[in-house]
């Protein structure tokens, strides 16, 4: 039995996902670079935010390309938040690439390759494209075909703007492309002077009533203003990596489809660098050093660190911002201990910003901001209880409880989260301390338990 399959039509509602740092809109600094206590989603950390603000200004002025910054502090003290704040205040014009330290370990690409790709994604090149165009509304097209049917056609095209009108004599080629594009009186067209390419922008509003029936795709536009022969300039910002990819596509469309560009030869990169430098000297390009943010930088190993050392010295280098929550620990890939798990020689090149744990008042404020972000109403007592939980366990745990408590509250059809809801989720979900407590009590009944394991190896 054959049955035609009816295509299922599903209405996909867009789900706004709320990320851990979606409430951050900037660094929250005033014009004198002083940090406001609560602003743009940032709370507390006044000293480190001010430091980040100074760095931000230097990035904006293009002063510190090729430098590196390390944001160090305990877990949950707003390191990523500060980096996000920097990214937000840089605006869309400065390239910002974020990556986690563990992202570079992949089977398809070597570590240094993915690092150099990340570096080159963080450098923008601004270029300008300039075209001379003729833009106007077609008043009349008149084409004279020879009576014999063969031979050169001649024609005249009348174009106008709101200010002027003129007649162009048409050659054979132009007539062909005009009739191919079905250009008729009332269309607004542009003609590229260099290539002779015609593009239809739409129909003029003044001719909207010419026909009663028109396709839905007919677009109406205003008759162009100003002169007929215009100069159009478009400024593009592309990243060095994008130029690399285009130039390394030796295998044609394959790279496009798989989405995997693979490794890019260093010769290609050198060629691109040379070309871009040439453009810069000719005044054809501006280089915008962007920001590369590496979170969890202690996950990088020794080879990556020495690569970073080298890459920072290149003259096309972005600002590198790293974040780590480790103290003195083993550098990955070696047996040496070092502060932040970063080799001393690299550490020596860094500007270090420290973050400190939040106070009770700040914790309360952050929880309030998160509640607003996650659309959960919290009663005053519940807020106080949650703040205590946040102080005694961790801020992250308290933030997790917001949305879960919100769900419990909705289940009992309440509008505001009460202390009971918090208590309930607190008993449902263990925090890290209670969880390890539980493990210690019942470790005998778990599989594969090894009592004498030391605490987690952090490398």
Partner 1 sequence: MDAVPVRVLEYLTEVEEAAEDVLTTKQQIVDLDTKRNGNREALNALKNEMSDSEKVKVCFGNMFIKFPKSKTREMIQKDQEQLDKEINDLRSALKAKVNRLNVMQGKPELRGYNLSALSTDEVRAINNLLKR
Helix locations, 106-252, DSSP H: 111-121, 172-180, 240-247
Among 38, 46, 202, 279, binds partner 1 (CB under 8 A): 279
Go through the chain and tell me how many residues it has.
459
Task: Kindly tell me which of 145 and 412 has the beta carbon lying closer to partner 1.
Answer: 145
Instruction: Kindly state whether residue 229 participates in binding partner 1, applying the rule CB under 8 A.
Output: yes
Helices (H), strands (E): how many in the chain?
14, 17
Q: How far is the CB of 227 from partner 1 (least distance, A)?
A: 3
Q: How far is the CB of 139 from partner 1 (least distance, A)?
A: 13
Instruction: Kindly state whether residue 243 participates in binding partner 1, applying the rule CB under 8 A.
Output: yes
Q: How far is the CB of 30 from partner 1 (least distance, A)?
A: 17
Q: How far is the CB of 133 from partner 1 (least distance, A)?
A: 13
Instruction: Kindly state whether residue 188 participates in binding partner 1, applying the rule CB under 8 A.
Output: no
Residues 386-405 that bind partner 1 (CB under 8 A): none
Instruction: Kindly state whether residue 208 participates in binding partner 1, applying the rule CB under 8 A.
Output: no
Instruction: Kindly state whether residue 270 participates in binding partner 1, applying the rule CB under 8 A.
Output: no
Radius of gyration of the chain (CA): 31
Instruction: Kindly state whether residue 164 participates in binding partner 1, applying the rule CB under 8 A.
Output: yes
Task: Kindly tell me which of 126 and 200 has the beta carbon lying closer to partner 1.
Answer: 126
d(CA 227, CA 156): 19
Q: How far is the CB of 290 from partner 1 (least distance, A)?
A: 14
Spatial CA neighbour of 293 closest among 18, 7, 21: 21
d(CA 238, CA 126): 7
Task: Kindly tell me which of 237 and 306 has the beta carbon lying closer to partner 1.
Answer: 237
Q: What is the 3-state secondary structure (H, E, C) of 257-305?
A: HHCCCCCCCHHHHHHHHHHHHHHHHCCCEEEEECEEEEECHHHCEHHHH
d(CA 289, CA 59): 8
Burial of 179 (0-12, 13-18, 19+ CB in 10 A): middle
Task: Kindly tell me which of 18 and 164 has the beta carbon lying closer to partner 1.
Answer: 164
Question: How many CA atoms, within 13 angstroms, populate the side-chain half-sphere of residue 299?
Answer: 13
Residues 280-309 that bind partner 1 (CB under 8 A): 282-286
Positions in the binding site for partner 1 (CB under 8 A): 93, 126-130, 163-164, 166-167, 169, 194, 226-229, 231, 233-238, 242-243, 246, 279, 282-286
């Amino acid at each position: 039995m054959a049955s035609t399959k009816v295509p299922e039509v599903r209405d996909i509602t867009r789900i706004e996902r709320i990320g851990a740092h979606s409430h951050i809109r900037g660094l929250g600094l005033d014009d004198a670079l002083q940090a406001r206590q609560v602003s743009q989603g940032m709370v507390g950390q006044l000293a480190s935010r001010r430091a980040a603000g100074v760095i931000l200004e230097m990035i904006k002025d293009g002063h510190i390309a090729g430098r590196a910054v390390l944001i160090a502090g305990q877990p949950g003290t707003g390191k990523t938040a500060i980096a996000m704040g920097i990214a937000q205040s840089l605006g869309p014009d400065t390239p910002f690439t974020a990556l986690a330290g563990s992202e570079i370990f992949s089977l398809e690409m070597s570590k240094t390759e993915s690092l150099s790709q990340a570096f080159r994604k963080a450098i923008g090149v601004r270029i300008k494209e300039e075209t001379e165009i003729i833009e106007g509304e077609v008043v009349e097209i008149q084409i004279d075909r020879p009576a014999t049917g063969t031979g050169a056609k001649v024609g005249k095209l009348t174009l106008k703007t709101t200010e002027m009108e003129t007649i162009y004599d048409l050659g054979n080629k132009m007539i062909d492309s005009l009739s191919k594009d079905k250009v008729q009186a009332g269309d607004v067209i542009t003609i590229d002077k260099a290539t002779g390419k015609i593009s239809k922008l739409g129909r003029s509003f003044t001719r909207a009533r010419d026909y009663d029936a028109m396709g839905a795709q007919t677009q109406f536009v205003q008759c162009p203003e100003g002169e007929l022969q215009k100069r159009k300039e478009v400024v593009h910002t592309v990243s060095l990596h994008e130029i690399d990819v285009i130039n390394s596509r030796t295998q044609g469309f394959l790279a496009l489809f798989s989405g995997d560009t693979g490794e890019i030869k260093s010769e290609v990169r050198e060629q691109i660098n040379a070309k871009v430098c040439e453009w810069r000297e000719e005044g054809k390009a501006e280089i915008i050093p962007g920001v590369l943010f590496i979170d969890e930088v202690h996950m990088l190993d020794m080879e990556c660190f020495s690569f970073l050392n080298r890459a920072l010295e290149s003259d096309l280098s972005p600002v590198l911002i790293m974040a780590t929550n480790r103290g003195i620990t083993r550098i990955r890939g070696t047996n040496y201990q070092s502060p932040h798990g970063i080799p001393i020689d690299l550490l020596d090149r860094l500007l270090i910003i420290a973050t400190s744990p939040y106070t009770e008042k700040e914790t309360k404020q952050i929880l309030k901001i998160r509640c607003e972000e996650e659309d959960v109403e919290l009663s005053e007592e519940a807020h106080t209880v949650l703040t205590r939980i946040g102080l005694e366990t961790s801020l992250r745990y308290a933030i997790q409880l917001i949305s879960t408590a919100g769900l419990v509250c909705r289940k009992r059809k309440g509008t505001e989260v009460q202390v009971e809801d918090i208590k309930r989720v607190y008993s449902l979900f263990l925090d890290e301390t209670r969880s390890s407590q539980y493990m210690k009590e019942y470790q005998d009944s778990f599989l594969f338990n090894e009592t004498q394991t030391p605490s987690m190896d952090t490398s």
